[in-house]
Amino acid sequence: MTLTAHIKARIAAQGPMRIDEYMTTCLLHPTMGYYTTRDPFGAAGDFITAPEISQMFGEVLGLCIAQTWLDQGAPTPFTLAELGPGRGTLMADALRACRNVPGFIEAAEITLVEASPTLRAIQTETLAGHRVTFADDLEALPEQPLFLIANEFFDALPIRQFLRDGSGWRERQVGLHDGSLTFGLAPAQAQPALTARLDTTQDGDLIESCAAIAPVMDTIAARIAAHGGVALIVDYGGWQHTGDTLQALRDHQKVPPLGTPGDADLTAHVDFAALAQAGASCAHSALTPQGVFLERLGITQRAQNLATKLTGAALETHIAAHHRLTHPEEMGNLFKVMALYPQGSAPPPGVDP
Ligand code: SAH
């Protein structure tokens, strides 16, 4: 059975499917899900992420973490965690960049939160030589300082969409029409969890909400508030957006989100306001554009340094990678960095307070 047939049968039997269920099924179905069955990254895959563009991304993020660790008195041991590590490239680059920071690698207990068995296998290979623990979620994290990175993790978490109708909300769902998957709207209902959004929206506005954020951010913030540490969250999105941002990418092209379930990546813009609110036991930085963040932390010096060893096509690729990560018209502005850190302590280097 294909994933499309599976989803259609589920809708035929039980009625329209919420978008969060659709996303989870498409991305993480145990045998037919997008992430569970493949390595989607890079030129041969469907999309490319910052750590796959250049080693400099992971190096700079790693050094930001290590500097914050030093600024907080080099607590030992500590958890070095990454959410949704993809191929493990970012963590490998970060660890290599930090190997000369005295005591850092020895004190780090590396934990990777990854849902896909296929990607866990690749991460194990990429990080050979390091002791790595896998976790399904953050609940099991030890009570100790937490230094955490999440790049393009939150955009993969399942969202629900609601259209404002008076003081109620009509949920957008996936149904069947003439045998094809199609979007529809459920009847209007009160949604107590969305009461605060009644002040910031008008009739006809569409909003997105992600229930998975709260438990994740609450746990991260609790560890950092109690024991110290920092969370560096990098993603595309903004501060409480309105409108439909569900998108599917296949072979580096946008495709209709209902067109090829399980064969395209599905993401939505991240609402950083929801992240900050769920992590309110910590202070948070302002949203800082990725390009500004990387420049402040010295990516250009690093790029120049690496360039001295390169010629020809390799040099051109390297220069293009630097441009792609930092330029405002490429990833520099679209992607934002937000840090979570203990109340009363200084934010990590690179972010706007
Ligand atoms: N950070 C990586 C990969 C981003 S893609 C990079 O920048 O290259 C999203 C990652 O999150 C993948 O590794 C995917 O398998 C993982 N993921 C998606 N949903 C998840 C969930 N609910 N729990 C844990 N990992 C998840």
Which of 27, 35, 57, 159 to mutate for ligand 1's pocket (most ligand atoms within 8 Å of CB)? 35
- Residue 112 in domain: yes
- Residue 247 in domain: no
Q: Looking at residue 334, what is its pLDDT? A: 95
- Residue 113 in domain: yes
* Residues 234, 129 share a domain: yes
Ligand 1 atom showing the smallest separation from residue 155 Cα: 9
* Residues 107, 58 share a domain: yes
Determine the structural domain holding residue 196 and report its residue range. 3-33+160-209
Which of 25, 116, 149 to mutate for ligand 1's pocket (most ligand atoms within 8 Å of CB)? 116
* Residues 25, 146 share a domain: no
- What separation in Å is there between the alpha carbon of 200 and the centre of ligand 1? 31
CATH number (domain holding residue 125): 3.40.50.150
* Residues 204, 333 share a domain: no
- Residue 280 in domain: yes
Q: Looking at residue 25, what is its pLDDT? A: 98
- Residue 260 in domain: no
Q: Looking at residue 122, what is its pLDDT? A: 97
Q: Looking at residue 139, what is its pLDDT? A: 87
- The residue whose CA has the least distance to atom 16 of ligand 1 is 84
Ranges of the chain whose pLDDT falls below 50: none
Q: Looking at residue 43, what is its pLDDT? A: 80
- What separation in Å is there between the alpha carbon of 152 and the centre of ligand 1? 7
* Residues 181, 59 share a domain: no
* Residues 125, 100 share a domain: yes
- In whole angstroms, give the CA distance from residue 333 to residue 121: 33
* Residues 203, 67 share a domain: no
* Residues 202, 127 share a domain: no
- Residue 308 in domain: no
- The residue whose CA has the least distance to atom 11 of ligand 1 is 84
- What separation in Å is there between the alpha carbon of 236 and the centre of ligand 1? 14
Ligand 1 pocket, residues with Cβ under 6 angstroms: 27, 35, 41, 49, 51-52, 84-86, 90, 113-116, 119, 151-153, 156
- Residue 293 in domain: yes
Q: Looking at residue 326, what is its pLDDT? A: 98
* Residues 134, 233 share a domain: yes
- What separation in Å is there between the alpha carbon of 93 and the centre of ligand 1? 17
* Residues 234, 190 share a domain: no
- What separation in Å is there between the alpha carbon of 305 and the centre of ligand 1? 31
Tokens of residue 236, six digits: 């595309």
- What separation in Å is there between the alpha carbon of 83 and the centre of ligand 1? 7
- What separation in Å is there between the alpha carbon of 98 and the centre of ligand 1? 23
Structurally, how many domains does the chain consist of?
Answer: 2
- In whole angstroms, give the CA distance from residue 251 to residue 9: 27
- Residue 181 in domain: yes
Which of 54, 56, 114 to mutate for ligand 1's pocket (most ligand atoms within 8 Å of CB)? 114
